[in-house]
Amino acid sequence: MIDLAQGRILVTGGAGFIGSALVWELNRRGFQNILIADFLGETEKWKNLAPLRFVDYLEADSLLDLVKESSYLLSDIRTIFHLGACSSTTETDAAYLIHNNYEYSKTLAHFALESGRRYVYASSAATYGARESGLSENLPLSRLRPLNMYAYSKHLFDCYAESINMLGRITGIKYFNVYGPNENHKGEMRSVVNKAFNQIGNTGRVSLFKSYRPDYPDGAQRRDFLYVMDAVAATVFLAEQVDGGGLFNVGSGEAHTWLELAHAIFIAMGKEQRIDFIDMPEQLRGRYQYFTRADIAKLRAAGFTQSFTPLRKGVSDYVQAYLQPDLHLGD
Report the b/e string of 51-75 with b at 16+ CB within 10 A: bbebeebbebeebbebbeeeeeebe
Rounded to a whole number, what is the distance in angstroms from the first to the last CA of the chain?
31
Which amino acid makes up residue 124?
S
CA gap 119, 137 in Å, rounded:
18
Catalytic site residue 175?
Answer: no
Residue 160 among the catalytic residues: no
Annotated catalytic residue: which of 102, 150, 175, 322? 150
Count of CA atoms in the C-beta half-sphere (13 A) of 100: 19
The DSSP bridge pattern shows strands 222-223 and 256-257 to be: antiparallel
- The one-letter amino acid code at 168 reads G
How many other CB atoms are there within 10 angstroms of residue 114's CB atom?
Answer: 9
- Catalytic residue selected from 47, 106, 186, 210: 186
Helical pair 60-68 and 104-114, crossing angle rounded to 10 deg: 50
Which residues carry out catalysis? 150, 186
